[in-house]
Structure 1
Amino acid sequence: MLYEHKVLTSKQIIELCYPSKRAANHRLRDLFTWRVVDRFQPFVNKGTAPMHYVLDIAGAVALAYEDGLDPKKIGYRHEDALGIAYSLRLAHTVGINGFFTSLVALSQQPCATGHLTAWWSELRCLRLFGDMVRPDAYGRWREDGREIEFFLEFDFGTEALGILSSKLHDYEKLATATGISTPVLVWLPTNSRETSARSALTTTLAQLDRPELVPVATTAGVAGERNPAAARWLPISTAASRRPGRLRLAELAQLWPQAAPPAAPPSPAVSIREVSLALSAPDPLPPPQPTSNFGR
């Protein structure tokens, strides 16, 4: 997971892997000592930031040999892995990863009815769809017999709304090329930012040739509410989809039946539907190049 998603906080690792904070701390201390993982603690103006973990040299070597590869061939460099501590995108990356680890934590609750079945990083999405669109992540959620796959746009409030909304043209291009209508979920930092973003997104959506190919819903990540599966998603209405109020993540699948994934992924090549990598660690080598279905 660290190889695929670059950096995870101690809380996110607990949500992914461990039954308690105590168990996680003991294991992470050993992994740090053995140089399987490295760690850093960013400076914050108020309070204390959680420990952040990245892959270390021994961890990269273990991943390579696990797949029968020469460690020199997987493209890992410790200075690059640790360099994210100084990246301007650190908070953005941690925010995206927290969105998905929250869904994993929900999946692992004793009475869980929902399950995250796929989570692809920004880099993996770039390899597959970068010639058309660059989402922050791709996910797939199953709950109560409903299933929805989606692209995530995680807005941190620093990007111009015109740039954010213009991405809908790229999503329409991808949907037209693949014949697959994949919802776009936009996570925004505040209620006021969501209101402004919805206005810009609605205007751009109306300009598309086929807006029905790009279902869009927004939410605001207000303090204390991190549950992405809750009734928080507000669709941007079109003539084909009008329903008042905020919906649960699983309810979006019912609202947009044209975007429902098939029962099983098709066998040829790599596609949006592929879930074989799901939540397990991916192969260190990049996946196969997209076929002509993705416009190459």
Structure 2
Amino acid sequence: MPQYRSSLLAIYPHITDRDRRLLQLLDDHLVLTTDQIHRLLFLARRTCQIRLNELRALGLLERFRFARAGGGSQPWHWTLGHDGHRFQAAAHDLPEPTLRSSRQRINRLSANPHLTHLLTANEFSVRLCAHTRANADARLDRWWSEVTAARQFRTITADGHGLWSVGGITAGFFLEADSGSEPLARVVAKLDRYADLARRGGPRYPVLFWLPSAAREDHLHGRLRLRHADVPTATATHDSDPAETVWLPGNGTQRLRLIELPSDHGQAVADNPNFVDGVFVA
């Protein structure tokens, strides 16, 4: 394995197409665990572990983990290293980051008090991507993190936004990855911003509440049934495959697949003059 080099050009002969895909995934998601990367890109876990360590030796990746409360360690959390940030900046025609700025990004990410919540939201995307590996007619055409979704839609604070396609049909969605820490009244109140976005000409995508337990889902669903259906909603739990028949609409009693939930993606985004270069500007 070659030693660390300061020139990106010296690293290029060692970067595969799968590595480029991984760098983009980490750029989009900020952080992924070894298990998540394994399910996204590799067949054998040992092959995944070896390649991640090789990319770390090249300076493309960095990793961290914390101790478990009952002993032992949490899984490795992987993010872009300094040369990973440099590579992504070059790929997207952005200014090259300094070593100091890269280190600050890694340190702030590792110390982020909402890191577990971020990994939960990322897990939603990972499961959809893993589903596509076993189902050729399914695709995750877009995944926007909380930061990207806020930048694009301006007024909402979704934990993620995606476009999901199955058999030629495309549906958009907004994700609310619930950790169980907020009162349900506050969770339901988040719908006001989505409704306001739709009234101003934005997409009327379903808001997906992904919940930590069946009991919390039951309690939230009871509140959603009492709310005026100004935006579509659906609920499911963290132990489910979000691509399957697990989504209970806020005004319904029968679970549906993600692709079956109401979504106005085609008209609201493709033809809406308030969207300029993918950004909602109304």
Instruction: Give TM class, smaller chain.
Output: 0.7 to 0.9
Over the residues paired in the alignment, what is the CA RMSD in angstroms?
2.7
Give SS of 1:19's match.
coil
- The answer to whether the aligner puts 1:19 opposite 2:43 as a matched pair is yes
Q: How does 1:249-264 map to 2 (within 5 A)?
A: 249-252=258-261, 256=262, 259-262=263-266
1:213-250 CA distances to partner (integer Å, 9 max, x unpaired)? x10000122xxx3411111110011xxxx5x3211212
CA distance in structure 1 between the aligned counterparts of 2:116 and 2:281, rounded to whole angstroms: 34
Change in Cα spacing, 1:38 to 1:195, as seen in structure 2 (3 Å) is same
Residue of 64, 86, 93 corresponding to 1:61: 86
Gap change, CA 1:64 and 1:158, over 3 Å in 2: same
Provide the residue aligned with 1:141 in structure 2: 164
Distance in 2, matches of 1:226 and 1:291, equals 35
Which one of 242, 246, 253 corresponds to residue 232 of structure 1? 246
SS at match of 2:66: coil
Give the total of aligned pairs.
Answer: 257
Could you say if the C-alpha distance between residues 114 and 272 of structure 1 is closer, same or farther in structure 2, counting changes exceeding 3 Å? farther
Opposite residue 151 of structure 1, the aligned amino acid is F
Deviation at 1:115, TM superposition (A): 1.6
Residue 48 of structure 1, CA deviation: 4.5
Which amino acid in structure 2 is aligned with residue 191 of structure 1?
A
Where do residues 124-163 of structure 1 align in structure 2 (5 Å cutoff)?
A: 124-130=148-154, 132-163=155-186
Are 1:33 and 2:42 an aligned pair?
A: no
Distance 2:275 2:213 in 1: 34
Structure 1: distance between partners of 2:39 and 2:113: 25
1:291 aligned partner = 281
Q: Which structure is richer in relative contact order (CA contacts within 8 A, separation 6 or more)?
A: 1
Cα distance in structure 1, aligned partners of 2:130 and 2:222: 33
- Letter of the 1:233 counterpart: W
Whether the aligned pair in 1 keeps the contact of 2:158 and 2:175 (CA below 8 Å) is: yes
Distance 1:45 1:3 in 2: 30
SS across alignment from 2:205: coil
Taking the TM superposition and a 5 Å limit, the aligned residue runs for 1:99-110 are 99-109=124-134
TM-fit CA distance, 1:178: 1.8
- Secondary structure in structure 2 of the residue aligned to 1:142: strand
Structure 1 spans left out of the alignment, 5+ residues: 275-288
Secondary structure of the residue that 2:190 maps to in structure 1? helix
Tell me the amino acid that sits aligned with residue 247 of structure 1: L
Change (3 A) 1:200 1:273: farther
Q: Is the 8 A contact 1:147 1:260 kept in 2?
A: no
> CA–CA distance in 2 between the matches of 1:273 and 1:251?
28
- Determine the structure 2 residue equivalent to 1:42: 66
Distance 1:200 1:178, change over 3 A: same
Secondary structure in 2 matching 1:140: strand
Structure 2: distance between partners of 1:119 and 1:233 = 19
Aligned-partner Cα distance in 2 for 1:48–1:226: 26
Deviation at 1:3, TM superposition (A): 2.1
Q: TM-score, normalised by structure 1?
A: 0.78
Q: Aligned pair in 2 of structure 1 residues 97, 38: CA closer, same or farther (>3 Å)?
A: same
Identity level (%): 30
Aligned: 1:52 with 2:77: yes
Distance 1:220 1:186 in 2: 8
| 1:93 matched to 2:118 | yes
Name which of 213, 235, 240 aligns with 1:218.
Answer: 235
- CA shift at 1:268, angstroms? 8.3
Conserved in 1, the CA contact under 8 Å of 2:248 and 2:254?
Answer: yes
- Specify the alignment match of 1:283 in structure 2: none
Distance 1:82 1:172, change over 3 A: same
Which of 99, 105, 108 is the equivalent residue of 1:80? Answer: 105
